[in-house]
Each structure stands twice: as structure tokens, then as C-alpha cells.
Amino acid sequence: MNRGARAPRPTGDPHRLGSAVLGVATALVAVLALITATWGPASVSRALAGGPSVPSAPPPPAAVVTVLAGTVPIQPGAAPVSPGAPLNVAVQHGVLQAVQVTDAKTGRQVAGTLSPDAASWRNSAPLSYGDTYQVAVTAVGADGQPVQQSSTLSTIRPAVLTAVSFRPTPSMTSVGVGQPLVVRFNHPVTDKAAAEKALAVTSTPAQHGGWFWMSANEAHYRAQSYWQPGSTLQLNANLFGVNLGKGAFGQENRAVTVHVHDSWVAKADGHAKTMQIFHNGAVVKSMAISLGSADHPSHIGPHVVSDKKPTMIMDSCTYGVCEGDPGYYKEKVDLDVRISADGEFVHSAPWSVGQQGSSNVSHGCVNLSPANARWFFDHFNLGDVVEITNSGGPKLPVWDTYGDWEVPWSEWQAGSAT
């Protein structure tokens, strides 16, 4: 009997197959839930579509503009600033398109320079005292959107403007190895440290030096020892906008450049009654001299030539010994080289030739014969040095144009305000 073909029987267990399907589905749901929680629905859609799954990038930032006078932010109600402080405009997350700084008094634009990357701007022309400026800035941020910012700044109005003068003056381009650099203020300085920080000296070749305040109106700069022959000295007084104390501010910046010529040093010995002349360290001449008498001894120590004249009238009344007083004199003297402010000179003294080389009879000067005085006058100039020893006199005072080299280096450094 033909009962027909049998249907094929399943080869696996139906219960086990159902369990496997359920397990895969559960795992898929768990993965999708993790993706959704971590990256969000958009990432899930990309994952299901087979694309990369990455976090969304933050939006590009807007430009942020800052305006500084020196290190002081310019904000509404800000106190007046120094016109000497650099005006800086900067942008973060963008570039500067335009910067306009306008003088409210004149309407003129202040010149400035934009950096190559257009991230900052700085004024190249100075601001003025007691003025107001409008600052208008346009920048474009990384988001492509423009940002405009306006601000107002005012500059200080000094009670006193302080000017300076130099010695050597700008016209004195060549000086000797003993010449100090002198800055004279036309008003007393109460903040000497601020003033000194604004005074910059560069020597070529480099030589260690320092400032010494003679008074509230005068500061001197010298090296530890005499300047090297052939040196170039550059003095920059960057005083514009500097607060010098009690409402006084620097009026302007000034500079002077000085060349140091060959070394000329004369050594006058009161015991030997001779003066040896050294040119760049080598003895080139010796002269018989007469220094100050016991009643009028010459100061000892290094003296610096500060002036010279072919002839002049020397009058003892200028220091209180007048006509009728013992020791009074008034006479024409030739070939005068000044070495101190209180009347010491190297000069021609034909009346004392007989004592030169044997006794000291002058009123404090270095007496020479007319021939020796001519040679000395022709070879010694401003800043050259005359060192006097064994005269029986006191030390040349530091303030006595120029007693700078009489001060030991440690004491000189102590005379600095910084």
C-alpha cells in the first residue's frame, strides 16, 4: 500500500533556535541603546546607515576684542593713562579689519601698525598729555560674524612737565676716557627710581656702569673704571609719560651718542713736582710743575677736563678773596684747561717757572711753563684726565665737575636709586 512521501523533519531543536534569535535581538537593542545614550539619535541613524559615528563639532567662536594702554584695560570709567604707554588692540578667535584711534581735540587719526597675522594693532605715533581719544575697532570672528567695539580713553594732565639736558651735549661728539654721562632735570625728581629706570646706557664694547645721584636734579653715569678708548656710548632718556613724583612727568624722550677718543691721562705728583703724560697707557712726555701752596693746596684725585680757553681773567674775588685781602689777585692767564669747578686749572704760568719742578706755590692750579702749557692745551680736551697726588690737599669732592672717579665703586653703586 502506497502511503505517499513523508514531509522532511526539522534537523534542529525548535526551542533552541528560538532562543538564539531572541538573544541576537536583545544584543542589538542593547548596542543601539548605548549608541543612542552616547552619541544621540543622529549618530544612531548614521550607524544604522553604515556611516561613521563621530561627535558633533562645537560651533566656531565669535571674535573677542581687547584694548590696553600698556597693561591697563580700557573700560568705561577707567582712570586717565600715561600717553607714553603703548596702545594695544588685540583680537582672539578672529582678525582685525579696522582700527581707528581719533584725537577728540583735533579729529586726527593716530597712526598705528597692524601685525602680519591681523591679530593685533599698536600705535606708532605717540599720544598727547591731557587729551581724549576715541577707539573704534572692527573684527571678524572665526564664526564669520563681524564684531564692532568702541571705547574712550583719556590721558593724564601733569602738574609739571620735566625736561632734561645732557653733558656731554649732542654737539660734543668726542670726549676723553674720564667723561661721565650727566643728565640734568629742570625740576627736582622725587621718584628717582622711576627716572633711573627710564635712563638707558649702551656702551660698545660693553662696559659695566652705574648711576649716581648728585642731587634731586642731577644724575651721573660712569663705568667702574675709565672708559675704553674708542668706545661708543648711547644714552636714551625715555622719560615721556614717566611719573617722576608729585605730579611731575617727563616732557619728552631724548638721546645722545658720544664717541670716546684716545686715552689721555696726566699724572701730577706734588712730591716729585713733575707731571707725566700717558697716551693710551704709554708715557709720552714729562713736565716740571708747581701745584698749590700749603695755604692753597690742590685737591687730590682724578680731575676731568670740563672746559678750555686760550685766555681768561682769573680773579680771586670770585671765591671771596677780594681787593685789599691777603692773597688777592686778578690777572690775565693764557692756555687755561679747567679741571674743577672751584677754580683749578692747568695753565701757563711764566711767573712761576723758577719754582716749577722744585716747590708748590700756586693757588691750587697746575702751573706750567708757556711751552709746556701750549703742548698740554693742544693735546688735552674735554673728558681727558688729570690725576693729582701728594699735594697735601683734600680729595676732590664728587660734585666738583667732575669728582666722579674719586668715589670708590661700591659707594658709587650705593648712590643709585635702583
Give the sheet arrangement for strand 366-368, strand by strand. 307-315, 330-338, 345-348, 366-368
Options 220, 261, 347, 363, the catalytic residue: 347
Which residue is listed with cell 578672529?
A: 94
User: In whole angstroms, what separates CA 117 from the centre of its chain?
Assistant: 29
- The verdict on whether 261 is a catalytic residue reads no
Classify residue 186 as left (phi > 0), alpha (psi -120 to 50) or beta. alpha
Q: Which amino acid is at 36?
A: T
Q: How far apart are CA 58 and CA 381, in angstroms?
A: 75
Options 220, 261, 299, 365, the catalytic residue: 365
Q: Residue 388's closest CA among 263, 270, 225, 264?
A: 270
- The verdict on whether 365 is a catalytic residue reads yes
| DSSP code at position 254 | E
Q: How far apart are CA 205 and CA 230, in angstroms?
A: 9
Q: How far apart are CA 211 and CA 218, in angstroms?
A: 10
Q: What is the largest CA-CA distance in the chain?
A: 179
Q: How far apart are CA 141 and CA 273, in angstroms?
A: 83
Classify residue 50 as left (phi > 0), alpha (psi -120 to 50) or beta. left
CA 10, 16, 17, 18 torsion-angle sign:
positive
Residues 6+ apart with CB under 8 A from 256: 166, 168, 169, 170, 181, 234, 235
Q: How far apart are CA 287 and CA 273, in angstroms?
A: 9
Q: Which residues are catalytic?
A: 347, 365
